[in-house]
Amino acid sequence: MKSKLGLIFFPAFDWMISPTHPERQERLLYTRDQLLEEGLFDLPQIREYRPRLAEINDLQRAHIGVPSIARLITPAHLTSAGGCLAAADAVMSGEVKRAFALVRPPGHHAMRVVHGIRGFCTVNIEAVMVEYLRSVYGIKKIAVVDTDVHHGDGSQDIFYHDPDTLYISFHQDGRTLYPGTGFPDEAGSPAAWGTNINLPLLPGTGDEGLHRLYDGLIQHILDDFEPELIINSAGQDNHFSDPLASMAVTAQGYAKLADKLQADIAVLEGGYSVEAALPYVNTGIILAMADMDYSKVVEPDQSDLRQQDERCNKRVDQLIAETGELWRSRFSTRKELLAKCGNSWSRKKSIYYDEEGIREEQIETAHYCRQCSGYLTIRTAAAGTRFGDQSAFIISLKRDTCSECRQTAYDEAQLEKRNGKWQYVLVQHIADGEIESL
């Protein structure tokens, strides 16, 4: 019998950010105990895989580290990224129908340019996997559904210009929670308008509101987009017991969502109620992804679970209406926006790295071309990194960037190099993950 679900379980019992940090050794201990006690690893429906160590070039298809990604990470990051690559291989080889990389450290706050750790993340493991699926398996259209309570600002940053990656994130409203972003009008750069869907929910939203949103909007958008693969950034901190957020979703809510979503690959993100939520939410997601009965997965203690406020559903209905309209009109909006901006489009970003107190100022420019998908230029300056203050001028070349664009990009980089303003001048080759230093 072909197994339904490939499971990569890597709790990183020897990795932490600091001893009392939410990202500490203990995080998946109780989940490990629950999965072992349930006997899930013995099921014929589930096949276990080991993570492998990702290579630096795997990371560099998604990231440009300053001074380099190799100097910013630990072997734990290579392992959690490698866990995602193992999940991708398991599904793409046809050995299993779906896969779940239950790994840490997490990644969805890590952006394209990396100066340090932000939001517990250094390497965006989903983005690394998406680029791997493209380079190794030639997959084009991918949907990433982020079910973490925090806005996945790193994933948004990396996928923002890519019309072939649909990024959908529902999360607790950024006015009430880290990282403070993730509003509906952040819908993608002009060429990719509408493929970045942000759905900020009111604190206190529970299973009811979540599934109202899924059934009323997310499912329709996914059906329309017709992705070749669906990836779930399976954060679990919408749970009613999470200490860092204020939502009211249960293990049943999460398991039902996994069942409806039918993601090809799920990747663990946040979730810090390590005793009261993670053991049950993960059991529920695993059973749902393995096409098994999850109806009996209920937290033994639901005394902290509150009924959701009626305003929560109102917000959900508003999102369904407004974002539905944004989605339906995406092609015409793209045309208008592109006509307005001409050959290039820029955005200015102020990025704060909460773990290390780094402040980064960044200007990112998407250059458009009629023959190819163009390229990006990034000007970044960061204060307070572990390497001191640092700056870089970066060009990011896509897989299909044409030779003309390449020449223009290199000319600009050489010019920036000559004016001597930047510590580093770097060229990212997304196709093979090479970073060239000029």
Partner 1 sequence: MLLGIDVGGTFTDAVLIGRGTIIAQAKRRTTHEAVLQGILEALDEVLQEQEVYNIERVVISSTIVTNALTEGRTDPVFLAVMTGPGMNVSKSFPVEPYYVSGYVDHRGKITARIDWQKHQGLLSKAKNKMAAVSGKFSVRNPENEYALAGELKDCGYEKIFLGSELSGELNFVRRTNSAYFAAAVYKTFKNFCRQVQDSLKERNITAPVHVLKADGGTLPLDIALKQPVETIFTGPAASVLGIEALGAPQVKSISLDVGGTTTDIAFWENGLPLLARHGVKVAGYPTAVRSFHMRSVGIGGDSRIRRTETGFEVGPERIGPAMAVGGCEPTLSDALIVAGRVGFGDKAAAHKGMQQLCLMGETAAEVAMQVVEAAVSVIEATINEMLHEWSIQPVYTVNDVIKGTEFEPELLVGVGGGAAGLIMALGERMGLPVEIPAGATVANAVGAALARPTLAASLRADTTEGYYLIPESGQRERLPSGFSMKMAEELLAAWLHEQAKAWQLPGQEAEVISKEFFRTIHGYYDSGEIISLRMQLKPGILQTVIGREVAF
Active site residues: 109
For partner 1, the binding residue among 55, 301, 325, 404 (CB under 8 A) is 301
Q: Which one, 17 or 338, has the nearer CB to partner 1?
A: 17
> Which of positions 232-251 make contact with partner 1 (CB under 8 A)?
243
For partner 1, the binding residue among 175, 296, 340, 418 (CB under 8 A) is 296
Stretch that binds partner 1, among 139-147, 275-283, 333-341, 367-375 (CB under 8 A): 275-283
For partner 1, the binding residue among 9, 100, 368, 422 (CB under 8 A) is 9
Q: Cα(first)–Cα(last) distance of the chain, in Å?
A: 53
Stretch that binds partner 1, among 111-119, 215-223, 296-304, 343-351 (CB under 8 A): 296-304
Q: Which one, 296 or 340, has the nearer CB to partner 1?
A: 296
Is there binding between residue 75 and partner 1 (CB under 8 A)?
yes
Q: How far apart are CA 231 and CA 130, in angstroms?
A: 9
Q: Is 295 helix (H, G, I), strand (E, B) or coil?
A: coil
Give the CA-trace dihedral at 285, 52, 135, 48, to 10 degrees: -40
Stretch that binds partner 1, among 74-82, 154-162, 227-235, 375-383 (CB under 8 A): 74-82
Name 259's Cβ contacts closer than 8 Å, sequence gap at least 6. 288, 294
Find the angle CA(270)-CA(176)-CA(302) to the nearest 5 degrees.
60
Q: Are 276 and 299 in contact (CB under 8 A)?
A: yes
Stretch that binds partner 1, among 26-34, 121-129, 353-361, 405-413 (CB under 8 A): 26-34
Is there binding between residue 262 and partner 1 (CB under 8 A)?
no
Residue 342 CB, nearest approach to partner 1 (Å)? 48
Is there binding between residue 107 and partner 1 (CB under 8 A)?
no
Q: Which one, 72 or 397, has the nearer CB to partner 1?
A: 72
For partner 1, the binding residue among 3, 4, 5, 10 (CB under 8 A) is 10
Q: Is 215 helix (H, G, I), strand (E, B) or coil?
A: helix
Q: How far apart are CA 387 and CA 372, in angstroms?
A: 36
- Please list the alpha-helical segments (H only) found in 93-213: 125-137, 153-159, 207-213
Residue 252 CB, nearest approach to partner 1 (Å)? 10
Is there binding between residue 297 and partner 1 (CB under 8 A)?
yes
Stretch that binds partner 1, among 8-16, 163-171, 228-236, 338-346 (CB under 8 A): 8-16
Q: How far apart are CA 294 and CA 259, in angstroms?
A: 9
Q: Is 333 helix (H, G, I), strand (E, B) or coil?
A: helix
Is there binding between residue 312 and partner 1 (CB under 8 A)?
no
Stretch that binds partner 1, among 201-209, 297-305, 370-378, 393-401 (CB under 8 A): 297-305
Is there binding between residue 149 and partner 1 (CB under 8 A)?
no
Is there binding between residue 120 and partner 1 (CB under 8 A)?
no
x/- mask, partner 1, residues 41-60, rule CB under 8 A, reads xx-----xxxxxx-------
Count CB-CB contacts under 10 A for residue 303: 6
Phi/psi of residue 397, nearest 5 degrees = -95, 130
Q: Which one, 74 or 332, has the nearer CB to partner 1?
A: 74
Angle of the 29-38 helix axis to the 278-289 helix axis, nearest 10: 50
Q: How far apart are CA 196 and CA 166, in angstroms?
A: 6
Q: Which one, 76 or 426, has the nearer CB to partner 1?
A: 76
For partner 1, the binding residue among 17, 24, 204, 431 (CB under 8 A) is 24
Q: Is 248 helix (H, G, I), strand (E, B) or coil?
A: strand
Name 428's Cβ contacts closer than 8 Å, sequence gap at least 6. 60, 64, 394, 395, 396, 397, 434, 435
What is the per-residue burial (b if ≥16 Cβ within 10 Å, else e) of 156-172?
bbbbbbbbbbbbbbbbb
Give the interface with partner 1 as residue ranges (CB under 8 A).
Answer: 9-15, 19-20, 24-26, 29-30, 32-34, 36-42, 48-53, 74-76, 79, 82, 243, 275, 279-280, 283, 287, 292-293, 295-301
